[in-house]
Structure formats: structure tokens, C-alpha cells
Amino acid sequence: MGTRKEVIPMMRAASVATLLLVLAHPVRAQTDDFYDCAGPGALLCNDGSATIVESCEAEFYSFSGRVGWEAIRNTGPVSIAIQTRYIANSLHRYIMPVYVEVRGRTPADGTNCSTNLGGHLVLTATGGTRCGGTWETIGPLDLRDYGVPLGDYYNVQLVFFDGIPDPRFGIQFHSVGFSCLRVTSYSTGVASMSWGGVKTLFR
């Protein structure tokens, strides 16, 4: 039967081996997923008015100008999806695209919702005629390619357009109706530590 002095080094060796196995494989970090829909209680901010263009299994809204959300932290690649609907009726045709942008924030900007500056275009959503709307997705995107370092904050923004009514027929063109936005994070990482650091943990 071994003594306590013999058992402790064996336990340390097993712990070191386990730690090295963990450090050798990717570790999934906490994701920063985001989901929000237009309508009462929505988190979005905008610099223009909004109108409901249809209720058909989901509510779709028409905005004027740019809308956005509070900042999200960049923890890795993301996919961005937007639910829209292409709608045409006698006087209003919601057939122009909605443009999806991402914009990095500086520490001085904080994390508040801001729509006064443009960002990098990442997706042009043209909608579809399906009653419940059409989801269009881009990604995974490495936000560092758009000037957003890991750990920094960024905004997702949508840009809507309204055309001038035709003087002869009164028809006015708008960006497609918008319902929901979804941001999915794929944040992964590999922890690294020197052998000296590992030995220090078990001294």
C-alpha cells in the first residue's frame, strides 16, 4: 500500500494530463445571440416613423431611414438573418430592398442604440411573397473584417427607403416590409498556456 507522499504526485500527474487534453481542444465560449421583432416592446430605435404594412402570420413594418439596436459584443463570427416580405398593392409597393449594416463602436460611444452614422453593408434583403415572410441570411461573418476587434461592441442597422409618389398614378415605392432580426454567434476559442504556467498551477 502506497503512502500519502506517493499518492499526491500521482494525482498531480493525472490532473496535469487532464488539463493538457482540455487545452488541446477548442472550447465553446458563451454566445452573444440576439433576436428582436418590430412592434410594441421592440428594442429597436429609428430616426423616422413606422407603419404596419400587413399582418399575415407575422407583422411587417415599413420604416423611413435607418433603424438599429443596442450594441452587441463581438465574441466571434456571426450570422445575421432578417425576415421581410415583398408586398405590392394599388398605391404602395413595398418592393425596394432593406440594407443590413454593421458598425463598430468606440469606447466613447458606449453601448446605446445609435442610427446617426452609416456602417458596412453586409446583406441586401429583397423579401419574398410568402405570407409569413422570407428569412435571408448572411454569414458566418468575421466582424474583424469590418473593423470590429474581438471583445469590442458593434451595432446592427437596417436602412429603409421611401420613394416619391408618382405624380400621375400616385404609386409610392418603399423598402420591403420588415418583421424580425436574428444574430447568431459562433464564438469558439482555443485556450493556450505555456508549460511553465501549467507547472506553476500544480506546485
pTM for this structure? 0.73
| Widest pairwise Cα distance in the chain | 100
Report the DSSP pairing between strands 153-160 and 98-104: antiparallel
User: What grid cell was written down for 53?
Assistant: 404594412
Name the 3-class secondary structure at 145: helix
| pLDDT given at position 156 | 94
Confidence bin at 55 (pLDDT 50/70/90): low
User: What grid cell was written down for 134?
Assistant: 422570407
Report the DSSP pairing between strands 172-175 and 92-96: parallel
User: What grid cell was written down for 117?
Assistant: 452614422
What are the start-end ranges of the E strands in 10-133? 27-28, 34-37, 45-46, 50-55, 59-63, 65-68, 72-73, 78-85, 87-88, 92-96, 98-104, 120-125
Top-confidence residue, 90 or 176: 176
Residues 17-33: tens digit of each pLDDT? 333 333 333 332 224 78
Report the DSSP pairing between strands 134-141 and 78-85: antiparallel
Residues 76-90: tens digit of each pLDDT? 999 999 999 998 887
- Please classify residue 30 by burial: count the beta carbons closer than 10 Å to its beta carbon, then call 0-12 exposed, 13-18 middle and 19+ buried: exposed
Q: How far, in Å, are 59, 86, 158, 163 from residue 89 at the CA level? A: 16, 10, 23, 15
Q: Tell me the average pLDDT of the chain.
A: 76
| CA–CA distance, 20 with 17 (Å, rounded to integer) | 5
Ranked by mean pLDDT, the top range of 11-15, 111-115, 188-192 is 111-115
The alpha carbon dihedral of 162, 183, 114, 143 has a sign of negative
| CA–CA distance, 155 with 67 (Å, rounded to integer) | 10
Q: Which domains does the chain have, with CATH numbers?
A: 28-188 (2.60.120.260)
| CA–CA distance, 86 with 92 (Å, rounded to integer) | 11
Average pLDDT of the residues in 65-85: 93
